[in-house]
Amino acid sequence: MSLYHLFVVAAYQAEIILCPLTNNLSFSQALRPAFQYYFRKATTGDVDAQFRLGVGYYYGLGIETDLNKALYWLSQAAKQNYTAAEVFLGVLNDQALLPNHTEQAALQWFFRAAKQNDPIGKTMLGIYYLYGRGNLVADPNIANYWLQQSVKLNYGLAQVYLAELYYSGKGVEQNYPHALQLFKKA
């Protein structure tokens, strides 16, 4: 799973307008007014603005890239149970994009998001249990549980992983027709 894929989904959940990520100076300058707007809103506690500001600092959208400020604003949003921020922080840890990244930290962020019925958080928990990541013991039964929960929310990536479980018979009774159905649905 790529960071870009998870970012797009997280951005969709947060209703961010995605722009092509570029090093073009005029592009960055064009985003400056939006950055300033979100900065004002974020300092008043607006959780959506805090998330957007964190993403802006992380990618250098409208401002110079600053990992410390990105983490600060993303953490502020996550403290208010903003699932897009929790998922984003989980992805940064999962993909080793932070200096002190750990799979355990990623797992904690994904669990917080999953508790709020977030399909990415649930899918990532399923993946972590499937492969025994984040110091978890690999358990296809628990992986199946989390993937099923995400499939109920029509999340395509969960459908792919669950289809693989049904195809291989890990954690579920092997069922080729059901695997095929899930693959098609994904």
Q: Where are the domains of the chain?
A: 1-102, 117-186
Q: Is the dihedral of CA 101, 102, 104, 106 positive or negative?
A: positive
Q: What is the pLDDT of residues 70-94, one digit of tens each?
A: 999 999 999 999 999 999 999 999 9
Find how far residue 122's CA is from the centre of its chain: 10
pLDDT computed for residue 29 by the predictor = 65
pTM surpassing 0.85? no
pLDDT at 19 over 50: no
Count Cα neighbours of 56 within 13 Å in the Cβ-side half-sphere: 26
115 confidence band (pLDDT: 50, 70, 90): very high
* Percent of the chain predicted with pLDDT > 70: 84
Looking at 3.40.640.10, 1.25.40.10, 3.30.300.20, 3.30.1330.10, the CATH number of the domain 117-186 comes to 1.25.40.10
38 confidence band (pLDDT: 50, 70, 90): confident
Whether 113 and 51 have beta carbons less than 8 Å apart is answered as no
Mean pLDDT (whole number) for 140-159: 96
Mean pLDDT (whole number) for 147-173: 94
Find how far residue 165's CA is from the centre of its chain: 22
Q: Which of 55-59, 124-128, 153-157, 174-178 is predicted least confidently?
A: 55-59
pLDDT computed for residue 20 by the predictor = 42
pLDDT at 118 over 60: yes
- What is the rounded distance in angstroms from the CA atom of residue 100 to the CA atom of residue 19? 28
* Fold assignment, 1-102: 1.25.40
CATH topology agreement for domains 1-102 and 117-186: yes
- What is the rounded distance in angstroms from the CA atom of residue 160 to the CA atom of residue 162? 5
Whether 114 and 125 have beta carbons less than 8 Å apart is answered as yes
Q: With 0-12 CB in 10 A as exposed, 13-18 as middle and 19+ as buried, what is 61?
A: buried
